Amino acid sequence: MTSMPVIKPVSAPLPIAALLGAMVSIQIGAAFAKGLFPLVGAQGTTALRLVVGALMLAAVLRPWRVRPSKAVWPWLIAYGVTLAALNLLFYAALKTIPLGIAVALEFTGPLLVATLSSRRGSDFAWVALAVAGIVLLSPLVHSRQALDPTGVMLALAAGGFWALYIVFAQKAGAELGGQTTAYGLAIAAVLALPFGVAEAGPALVAPSILAGALLVGLFSSALPFWLEMVALTRMSARLYGTLTCLEPALGALAGFLFLHEILTGLQCLGVAAVIAAAFGATMTNKPPVPSPE
């Protein structure tokens, strides 16, 4: 088999469930990744999650059975580059600014995609509601500490690459479907590995971090990236961008459950606003008219 059929975007429970599963998996993976930071650093952790995730997907999906056409290779390479960049930049930002603020700043990427992809006034209303919720969730509303400008710029840059990632993933996924993730993750791993080696050195291959690396690779890369590709090839960029507004809400929930962070009244209101925006976007999203066979 040398090619896969094009997957037409549809509005159905499957892509929505896949995207929600990806976001939950990322939160679980973040809990495991936090334990690796003292051992291999931020860039080392990034390299591990991408390399291990790429190996896992390669073993399961066997992407070599599907050869990308010459036309799709530029999109595939661009997808891998953006995947590596957004991860490296985001973890670099976490060195100097809090996680909640970094997530809020990075989220400008998918929100930009959601806004630019909108064609109706009601679409902008859901995006505006999501923005309001993210602002309420962000520590920017509550924190009195000055933010490091470099960390802020790195998080915003990660958001920009996240927006490009959405576009390139859909372009490449139109031909390769779920196999796009296996190829893109392999490209991202190759690009990120030198950064990880430069920071962590031999610690990257220490037996003591093997179990943690496997868990991080599974929950932070292999599983969520594959689930995201399933979603991206079956839903509009606008719906993807709005549904991912659940990420800050899930992050706040994970903080409460695993880190015992108590939500304030404003933060609870932010969670409600984000969930309402995601629900509204899902309910008002109309599937495209099927093309004749």
In a domain, 235, yes or no: yes
In a domain, 3, yes or no: no
Q: Are 113 and 238 in contact (CB under 8 A)?
A: yes
Axis crossing angle, helix 37-61 with helix 73-93, rounded to the nearest 10: 160
In a domain, 289, yes or no: no
Q: Are 261 and 255 in contact (CB under 8 A)?
A: yes
pTM: 0.76
Q: Are 168 and 156 in contact (CB under 8 A)?
A: no
Domain limits at 61?
13-284
* Domain count along the chain: 1
pLDDT tens for the 293 residues of the chain, in order: 333 333 444 556 888 889 889 988 887 887 777 778 888 999 998 999 899 888 988 888 787 887 888 888 999 999 999 999 999 998 888 777 776 777 777 877 777 776 676 666 777 787 788 788 777 766 666 655 556 788 888 988 998 998 898 888 888 877 777 788 888 889 999 999 999 999 988 888 888 888 888 888 888 887 887 888 788 777 776 677 677 777 777 777 776 776 665 667 776 787 788 778 766 765 665 544 333 34
Q: Are 180 and 231 in contact (CB under 8 A)?
A: no
In a domain, 132, yes or no: yes
Q: In the structure encoding, which two tokens stand for residue 114, read together?
A: 């959601």
In a domain, 5, yes or no: no
CA–CA distance from 60 to each of 67, 141, 219 (Å)?
Answer: 16, 43, 15
In a domain, 8, yes or no: no
In a domain, 163, yes or no: yes
